[in-house]
Amino acid sequence: MAVEQKAPNRYHHGDLRRALLAAVDEIVQELGVEGLSLRECARRAGVSHGAPAHHFGDKRGMLTEYATDGFEKLLGSISVEFDKLDPADTKGKLKAVGKGYVAFALAHRAQFKVMFRSELLDNENERLMERGRQVFEILTKSLAGHWAATNQGWRKENLAQISLAWSAVHGFAVLAVEADLLRMGEEGLLNPDPDAVLDQLMLIAEPPR
């Protein structure tokens, strides 16, 4: 008679959230969100079947926490790029937002996709909304700092520039993740070099000539 093998116990005292989120990430990478369940999450984390429900509530809650964790990692990725720069380098900081954004997307492809699947998430969750706002604030503050340094000042048109800047960076990240843009090679229709693309995106923030 076949004996069901148990998943190795990866839970260490005090780190249940991390163990569960690691299991969620594994499942989403392998099976997509359709294959995610509280029971499978518990099995892979090596904890009791009730642990994910106690921690997340239900599948939506589990994906919401997974997305929130993604925004926290995204903030960290941008912070790493900021730490490489002189605080007075406003143009560099603006580009760093894009570099951190794309680097996170490529390093955490499955999580990046889930973060923007609003139909799967609890969009009233305070932590999720706050982390999303923090990412947006980093972009807007970086743009505002660059505009101040280049004597542009605040104009009504800046609101459109903010939307365009986020759309452009996010769009490139999605193409890099979904279309495997970076493997298209020199003969590809799109430039596979993130640095070169981000240099072009920087033109969005420059004052009109």
Tell me: pLDDT of 3 over 50: no
More confident: 86 or 12: 86
Multiple choice CATH, 1-57, 1.20.140.10, 1.10.150.530, 3.40.50.1370, 1.10.10.60: 1.10.10.60
* CA contacts within 13 A on the Cβ side of 50: 0
* CA contacts within 13 A on the Cβ side of 52: 28
Averaged pLDDT of the chain: 85
Tell me: pLDDT of 69 over 70: yes
Tell me: pLDDT of 5 over 50: no
More confident: 134 or 156: 134
Geometric angle at alpha carbon 152, from 146 and 153, rounded to 5° = 95
Tell me: pLDDT of 45 over 70: yes
At residue 190 the predicted structure's pLDDT band, cuts being 50, 70 and 90, is: low
Domain parsing of the chain, residue ranges = 1-57, 58-205
Residues 195-207 have a mean pLDDT of 78
pTM score, two decimals? 0.85
Residues 9-31 have a mean pLDDT of 83
Instruction: Give residue 112's Cα distance to chain centre.
Output: 5
pLDDT value of position 100: 95
pLDDT value of position 187: 57
CATH fold group of domain 58-205: Tetracycline Repressor; domain 2 (1.10.357)
Tell me: pLDDT of 19 over 90: yes
Residues 63-75 have a mean pLDDT of 97
Q: In CATH terms, are 1-57 and 58-205 the same topology? A: no
